[in-house]
Amino acid sequence: MRITDMDFTRFKALTFDVYGTLIDWETGIWNALQPLLSLANREISRDEALETYGEIETRQEAETPSLHYRTLLATVHARLARHWGITAQADLHERFGTSVPDWPAFPDSREALAYLKQHFRLVVLSNVDNQSFAASNRKLGVSFDAVYTAEDIGSYKPDPGNFRFLFDRLKQDLGIQQDEVLHVAQSLFHDHAPAESIGLASVWIDRRFGVEGPGATKRPLAQPKVGGHFPTLAEFAAMHRAADKKH
């Protein structure tokens, strides 16, 4: 079902992945990697750096699901250094682990969230720690109705336990059922694949939509069955605004 065919009144909550959807994690990671990359004996492109980072972070999350995110980031940074044959001091890894507060918000996030807040409960389900998210949230300028992080849950998405935790807490904390939730996220791997497997309606905010050449989104053979596909959160908010005016 496309988002234009949906009855928005059935949804009481929008649940958000944050990093990649509301916060520009790619730019944040790339900037935070610069001190390490300056020590490399060859040029490492942004695309190579981010792809390698993503692969190592995913493995680390699976291997150490209860590891605090700041510690996990520092561990991933150390593994990246070894992967690239770079000798780096421990304080460089630790500095990377505390870099999340420096990651920028996408320019449309703040205004779009302010609009959506008028119509839905807004909830966070994120692979991050609470302190790091609180710093990011100051850039977003909205008060979320609930925040559930990997630190709270003890595992990282795409572990299905994260979504079970979400539904249990939404029912307990806000009286909201799964069929009243619309999940808004960028990651196919961390969010849309598990959402589809449990029948959770979702919207794909594909920030690289339409990008060609190096750095373009690697498309799956078949796109996930999501409620809609938008290049920005602002366009999703505009779609809701248009649908709201029809009713």
CA distance 215 to 172: 41
Q: Long-range contacts for 34-39 (Cβ within 8 Å, ≥24 apart)?
A: 35/92, 35/95, 36/77, 36/80, 36/81, 36/84, 36/86, 36/88, 36/92, 36/96, 39/86, 39/87, 39/88
**Triad 220, 225, 228: Cα angle to 5°:** 100
Dihedrals φ, ψ of 15, to 5°? -105, 135
Active-site residue (options: 7, 17, 145, 168): 17
For residue 196, how far is the Cα from the chain centroid? Answer: 17
Beta bridge partners of 205: 230
Catalytic residue check, 244: no
Q: Where are the alpha helices (DSSP H) in the chain?
A: 25-37, 46-63, 69-83, 90-97, 109-117, 130-140, 150-153, 160-174, 193-197, 233-246
State which H helix or E strand residue 182 sits in: strand 181-185
- Size of the chain, expressed as the number of residues it contains: 247
| Residues with active-site annotation | 17
